[in-house]
Structures are given as C-alpha cells and as structure tokens.
Amino acid sequence: MSDVQLALGGASFDGLVQVEELAGQGMITLRGDLTDDAIVTAVRDVFGVTLPGIRETAIDGAQGALWMSPDEALLLCPADLARQKTDDLSAKLQGAHALVVNVSDARAVFRLKGTMLREVIAKLAPVDMSPGAFGPGMVRRTRMAQVAAAFWMDDASTARIVCFRSVAAYMFGLLSISADEASAVNHFTR
C-alpha cells in the first residue's frame, strides 16, 4: 500500500486551539439497517465495537463507529487496515442488504485540541455546543459554514472533524479563522 498523502501536507495552526490535519484515518461507510442482527454482529466481529445509537460514537482505541443517519455508520480504523476491514466486513455481510465502501481517500480529518474548542466549532456549525448539550461520545453530521462535515469529541479538550478532501483547504481556513486569538468571544468560559 502506498503512503497516504494528506490533502494539505499536515497543515497546522495554533490559536485559541491547535488545529491539525491528521493522517492515517481509515474510514468505511456502512449503509443498511443498523439494527439488523447480521450487520450488528459483523461490525462487532470486524471492528470490535457495537454500533452506536442515534448521534453517538462507539470508539475503542484506533477503531470505532459513528452514527451518521438511521441507515448509515462511519467506521474508523487505521488507514493501513481500511482495505482489509472493508473486504472482511463485505464478506461477513454477503447476502445481507448492506453497502460497504472504503471512503478513506475521499475524506480529510482535522483535530482541534484545547479548552476553547467548543467556541471554535460553535462559530461555524448550527449545533448547541454547551457542555450539557454536546460532549464526548456524541457526533454531529452538519454543515460548518458552507461545508458538509461531521465532528465528535474524543474528550473535553479534543475534537475531530471530517469533511470531503476536496474542501480540505477551505475547512482548514475556516477553522484557522475561527481559532484566531483575535476572534475570541469567550462564550463558554463565563
């Protein structure tokens, strides 16, 4: 397998939070009835996690599953395992009504690190980012300015954002402007 080429070469920005383009994230889209026993069992066997509930994540180390819609999950794994995991999941779902596609090369992933990440995201997404409304273990599929994206928090000061690779430069620009120290609103620090 060839080395994964980052859309922006590993771009980073330090401000209210650290914004960093990440490498090595395998992503597999699974479409189907997420309550079907065959699908639930296949995901558990291949990824070691149970499919999450509505707007939830199930992440165990480098592998996991994100709820994307009632009939779609985004499965995470190391990039070098994505092809094999796609093949393994497809084989286990042979005969089931499901679609399994490796979308790793079509996506860009950014990590936000810092205590002001709620403010940075709230400037861009129509999501209530207050601690009581959104936190670790939750995922949102939404728009960030003009870009379709999904984001989740790994912990109280770390979030990941996924968008199409074709808009990675635009997303990085948005995140950098939102994280610029001169743009601080300090809404979540009161």
pLDDT in tens, 37-48: 999 999 999 999
Q: What is the pLDDT of residue 151?
A: 98
Mean pLDDT of the chain: 93
pLDDT band, residue 30 (cuts 50/70/90):
very high
Task: Give the residue-averaged pLDDT of 95-106.
Answer: 95
pLDDT at 4 over 80: no
Q: What is the pLDDT of residue 3?
A: 58
Query: Identity (one letter) of the amino acid at 47?
Result: F
Contact 116, 17 (CB under 8 A): yes
Q: What is the pLDDT of residue 1?
A: 42
How many angstroms separate the Cα of 116 from the Cα of each of 57, 95, 173, 181?
22, 47, 17, 10
**Cα 70 to the chain's mean position, in Å?**
17
Q: What is the pLDDT of residue 185?
A: 86
Share of the chain above pLDDT 70, in %: 96
Write the CB contacts of 173 (distance below 8 Å, at least 6 apart in sequence): none
pLDDT at 189 over 90: no
pLDDT at 7 over 70: yes
Q: Domains of the chain (ranges plus CATH)?
A: 12-23+106-183 (3.30.1360.120), 25-105 (3.30.70.1520)
How many angstroms separate the Cα of 91 from the Cα of each of 1, 19, 80, 151?
21, 37, 19, 29
Closest CA to 81 of 25, 39, 6: 25
Q: What is the pLDDT of residue 184?
A: 85
